[in-house]
């Protein structure tokens, strides 16, 4: 498995330029006074990208030069990066990756052929001053024996990276997914299971990521 990719100065510049979408997307409620449940760590899996698309931004549904947009149900994924005290961890780098609507990751070791050429497969953005981040992607689908999920990696400034996964509330396979149910603490497990709602032009998901676990 290829490890998390280090950021270059050029990449950071692109992230700053691409933060407009995150600013335009709705954010979760403000920080609260009581301690928050830390988001549990999970495996990055075998398909963290071993090569990165030229078009790395926070909209995974449109690729420059592709014949069309990504297949699948559009999803706006938003949230905030916080510490357990509810304070924003601004400037955090947030990455997501997931399989396409056909259940294929954009990775050299996944099944050859059939991948959606219109799906970016991987996205990256910066959390704003209030910790807010946002992506436009697709609703995750099941992959093999796995329940639908989106992989998430957060690199806070000067801190240790957190790798986790976001799951969809109400999915029947959640009850039998081994990686999800390896989270023994019910509150921590509930923190990564997110309900989806119907927005004006896409499903919406609000996933706050709490660092400190």
The 10s digit of each residue's pLDDT in 29-78 is 444 457 999 999 999 988 888 877 777 899 999 998 888 899 999 999 99
CB hemisphere CA count around 200 (13 angstroms): 2
Could you tell me how many helices (H) and strands (E) the chain has, helices first? 4, 10
- Pick from 158, 34, 32: which is nearest to 90 by CA? 158
| Percent of the chain with pLDDT strictly greater than 70 | 84
Check whether 205 has a pLDDT greater than 70.
Answer: yes
H-only helix segments in 3-85: 9-17, 20-24
CATH for 9-211 is 2.60.130.10
Residue 18 is predicted with a pLDDT of: 47
Write down the mean pLDDT value for the chain.
Answer: 86
Residue 119 is predicted with a pLDDT of: 94
Tokens of 80: 């905030």
Residue 120 is predicted with a pLDDT of: 93
198 pLDDT band, cuts 50/70/90, is: very high
Q: Calculate mean pLDDT across residues 182-206.
A: 97
Tokens of 36: 């928050």
Check whether 13 has a pLDDT greater than 90.
Answer: no
Least confident of 25-29, 40-44, 85-89, 162-166: 25-29
Q: Tell me, what DSSP letter sits at residue 173? A: G
Tokens of 204: 């919406």
Give yes or no for a contact between 193 and 37, defined as CB atoms under 8 angstroms apart. no
Residue 28 is predicted with a pLDDT of: 47
Please give the residue that has the higher pLDDT: either 166 or 114. Answer: 166
- Pick from 105, 116, 34: which is nearest to 69 by CA? 116
- Rounded CA-CA distance 130/123 in Å is 20
- Pick from 173, 169, 180, 144: which is nearest to 41 by CA? 180
As a dihedral over the C-alpha atoms of residue 108, residue 138, residue 167, residue 11, rounded to 10 degrees, the angle is 60
Q: Calculate mean pLDDT across residues 17-40.
A: 60
Residue 213 is predicted with a pLDDT of: 62
Which residues, other chains included, contact 8 with Cβ-Cβ below 8 Å and sequence gap of 6+? Answer: none
């Amino acid at each position: 498995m290829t490890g998390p990719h280090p950021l270059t100065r050029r990449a950071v510049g692109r992230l700053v330029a691409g933060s407009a979408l995150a600013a335009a997307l709705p954010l979760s409620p403000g920080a609260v006074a009581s301690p928050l449940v830390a988001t549990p760590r999970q495996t990055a899996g075998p398909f963290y990208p071993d090569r990165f698309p030229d078009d790395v931004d926070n909209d995974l549904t449109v690729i420059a030069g592709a014949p069309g947009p990504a297949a699948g149900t559009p999803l706006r994924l938003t949230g905030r990066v916080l510490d357990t005290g509810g304070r924003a961890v601004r400037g955090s780098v947030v990455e997501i990756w997931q399989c396409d609507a056909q259940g294929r990751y954009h990775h050299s070791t996944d099944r050859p052929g059939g991948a959606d050429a219109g799906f970016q497969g991987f996205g990256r953005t910066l959390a704003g001053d209030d910790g807010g981040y946002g992506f436009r992607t697709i609703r995750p689908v099941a992959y093999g024996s796995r329940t639908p999920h989106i992989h998430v990696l957060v690199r806070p400034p000067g801190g240790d990276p957190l790798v986790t996964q976001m799951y969809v509330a109400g999915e029947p396979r959640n009850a039998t997914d081994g990686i999800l149910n390896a989270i023994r603490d019910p509150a921590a497990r509930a923190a990564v299971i997110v309900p989806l709602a119907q927005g004006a032009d896409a499903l919406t998901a609000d996933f706050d990521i709490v660092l400190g676990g």
